[in-house]
Structure 1
Amino acid sequence: MTETLKIEGMGCGGCITTVTKALSAVPGISDVDVSLEKHEARFALNAPATREQAVKAVEDAGYDVKG
């Protein structure tokens, strides 16, 4: 299943790397694509990962998730 998170606080290429690494570290999340322009991250979400784990990973990396 493909998920999208709206993320606030990203402002540079380093932010893309940080969010990509944070999401990719969650078992079950793959194909992470972070857009600075759209302020969002799209990714494949498979068991055992949950949307809540994805949100927590992004927030733990220092960004706000708005949907």
Structure 2
Amino acid sequence: MSTELNISGMTCGHCQAAVTKALKRVPGVQDAEVDLQTGRATVQGEPDVQALLSAVSEEGYTAQVRQ
């Protein structure tokens, strides 16, 4: 299963790396890819969606589930 997120507030490679690491630490995540240019993240696995949003928020960015 994959979950798509829109991430706001990323401006550089460091931001991208921080969000990627935060998402990968969430239980249930098998892999996470974050695209700085599009502001999108694709998370593989079966994590709790609220945990994903919280992990991004704790790094100082905003995330929303893509519809």
TM beyond 0.5: yes
Partner of 2:3: 3
Residues 8-27 of structure 1: CA distance to partner in whole angstroms, max 9, x if unpaired?
Answer: 00000001110011001111
Give distance in 2, aligned partners of 1:10 and 1:33: 14
**Structure 1 counterpart of 2:7, one-letter code:** I
The DSSP-based 3-state class of the residue aligned with 1:42 is strand
Matched, 1:55 2:58: no
Partners of 2:48 and 2:64 in 1: CA distance: 17
Matched residue count: 65
Q: State the identity as a percent.
A: 37
Q: Secondary structure at the match of 1:66?
A: strand
Q: Report the CA distance between 1:31 and its aligned residue.
A: 1.6
Structure 2: give runs of 5+ residues left out of the alignment. Answer: none
The TM-score with structure 2 as length reference comes to 0.89
Aligned ranges 1:37-56 → 2 under 5 Å:
37-46=37-46, 49-56=47-54
Unaligned runs of 5+ in 1: none
> Considering only aligned residues, what root-mean-square deviation do their CA atoms show, in Å?
1.0
Contact 1:45 1:51 in 2 (8 A): no
Letter matched to residue 41 of structure 2: A
